[in-house]
Each structure stands twice: as structure tokens, then as C-alpha cells.
């Protein structure tokens, strides 16, 4: 659910900025804090978003087909009732 590329980039920048032993602990803590913050934001990955966009497009297409079919059946029913 987290954007691992963003976390990895940030982690690389933090480790490049401070290579001492205490900095490793700070990096680990910052990474945990960022992960926790991103989890609270309830973010989705681009892949999840794209999949849901495709599902929505297919659903809209099916809905359009069903609406056309219902209109056709209603027209047939009205013609038969006359």
C-alpha cells in the first residue's frame, strides 16, 4: 500500500547524508515514522489505482449495454401492449 520507491529514495538520501552509526538508527526510525504516516493517509499505489480505473471503465461499459437492453425490451413491451 506504500509507495516503496518514495521510501527507498528517501532512505537513500538519509543514508547518504549521514553515514555514522547513530545515523543508521535515525534512518530506521525515520523510515518507520514515514511508513506509519503513509499508512494513516490510506494511500494506494499507482498500480492499484490503474486496476480500479479499468474495473470502473468495464463496469460503466456493461451498465451502458444493460441500459440499452432495458430500453429495447421496454420498447418491445410497449409495442406488444398496443
User: Are the beta carbons of 52 and 59 closer than 8 angstroms?
Assistant: no
pLDDT tens for residues 36-52? 888 888 888 899 999 99
What confidence score (pLDDT) does residue 62 get?
98
Q: What is the DSSP letter of 20?
A: S
Tell which wins on pLDDT, 2 or 40. 40
Prediction pTM value? 0.50
pLDDT tens for residues 55-75? 999 999 999 999 999 999 999
The CA distance from 31 to 8, in Å, is: 9
What residues does each domain of the chain span? Answer: 1-43, 44-82
Tell which wins on pLDDT, 77 or 9. 77
Amino acid at each position: 500500500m506504500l509507495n516503496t520507491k518514495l521510501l527507498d529514495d528517501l532512505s537513500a538520501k538519509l543514508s547518504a547524508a549521514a553515514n555514522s552509526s547513530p545515523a543508521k538508527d535515525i534512518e530506521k526510525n525515520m523510515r518507520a515514522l514515514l511508513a506509519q504516516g503513509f499508512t494513516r493517509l490510506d494511500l494506494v499505489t499507482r498500480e492499484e489505482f490503474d486496476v480500479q480505473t479499468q474495473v470502473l471503465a468495464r463496469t460503466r461499459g456493461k451498465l451502458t449495454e444493460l441500459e440499452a437492453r432495458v430500453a429495447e425490451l421496454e420498447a418491445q413491451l410497449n409495442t406488444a401492449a398496443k
